[in-house]
Amino acid sequence: MQHSKKILVTGGSGMIGHRLTTLLMQRGYEVFHLLRSKKIGSYIKTFIWDPKKKVIEKNALLDADVIIHLAGAGVAEKRWSESHKREILQSRTQSTRLLHETLQREKHHVSTFISASGISFYGLGDPSGDAFIESDAPATDFMAQVTLAWEAQTEKMNELGIRTVKIRTGVVLSRRGGALEKLAQPVKLFLGAPLGSGNQYVNWIHLDDLCAIYIKAIEDQAIRGVYNGVAPNPVTNKELTKQIARALKKPLWLPNVPGLVVKLIAGEVAMVVLKGGKVSSEKIRNTGFDFKFKTVQHALQDLLRV
């Protein structure tokens, strides 16, 4: 299938951006990257920007029909110092603001803007509560407020007559890097165990399904606004740990890791993994989107196979 649209991807060298680039090119799209520095040996045409300094390479947006905005500092990669919390917020809001200001100022023919977002919008959640849907109000904790500010900047694209889509992403499971690698490593070392109560929900999604949602958002002009990027069947932390061990054919013999221990190791970021309610995927499914990986067992069979 050949497509004439040209796609500019911010954060294209990351886990999601790299896979999405491959899948877009397989469908015949021409893909460019907008990065903070050139990647040696990259086969993708790359433009440079620095959102902190409000600098973007001339004509970076000139040829783009669609912008996919994935750039943003990692949330769970290290403890949340005040400076890192600032970076988490500003890397999202400043980069989106720079794109908006550039599109407002310069000649372009961008018709669609698709931005990453997070299910952190809903807060930590109650495992016994109803599944969150896109029309629910934002929570008040740090990551919820980051996501609210991020989406507020994204919404401004609508003022420019650009179709705007926000994908509130859950825990992305992939073959290399990301959450699954961190979860699987202790299991491989016979040290796997649920975290805290283990009853908190993990709203996961296979990387290929997430990329397919982005492609659906490019190709289906009826899609606009916010959609949850999560699989139809969330699982508890306890169940996910058990299924990882089963897929790796490893035993689980340790008791749950107490929440206090996780907090001592990870600091404030621990709350991201110790709490969580369910998030609904019904809205994206109602567009006709069909998940390839509907159960975590199927996803893990694909991702953890040798």
Going from N- to C-terminal start, the domains of the chain cover 6-240+245-303
What is the model's pLDDT at position 2?
Answer: 59
Q: What is the mean pLDDT of residues 86-94?
A: 95
Q: What is the mean pLDDT of residues 225-244?
A: 97
- Is 127 or 281 the better-scoring residue by pLDDT? 281
**If you average pLDDT over every residue of the chain, what do you get?**
93
Q: What is the mean pLDDT of residues 201-216?
A: 98
What is the model's pLDDT at position 276?
Answer: 92
- In this prediction, residue 1 has a pLDDT band, given cuts at 50, 70 and 90, of low
Neighbours of 22 (CB within 10 A): 11
**What is residue 237's three-state secondary structure?**
helix
Give φ, ψ of 138 to 5 degrees: -70, 155
Q: What is the mean pLDDT of residues 104-133?
A: 94
What CATH number belongs to 6-240+245-303?
3.40.50.720
What is the model's pLDDT at position 71?
Answer: 93
Q: What is the mean pLDDT of residues 281-292?
A: 98
With beta carbons less than 8 A apart as the criterion, state whether 8 and 34 touch. Answer: yes
Q: What confidence tens digit (pLDDT) does each residue in 124-172 have?
A: 888 888 999 999 999 999 999 999 999 999 999 999 999 999 999 999 9
Strands 201-202, 235-236: parallel, antiparallel or unpaired by DSSP? antiparallel
Question: In terms of Cα–Cα distance, which of 4, 131, 29, 37 is closest to 13?
Answer: 37
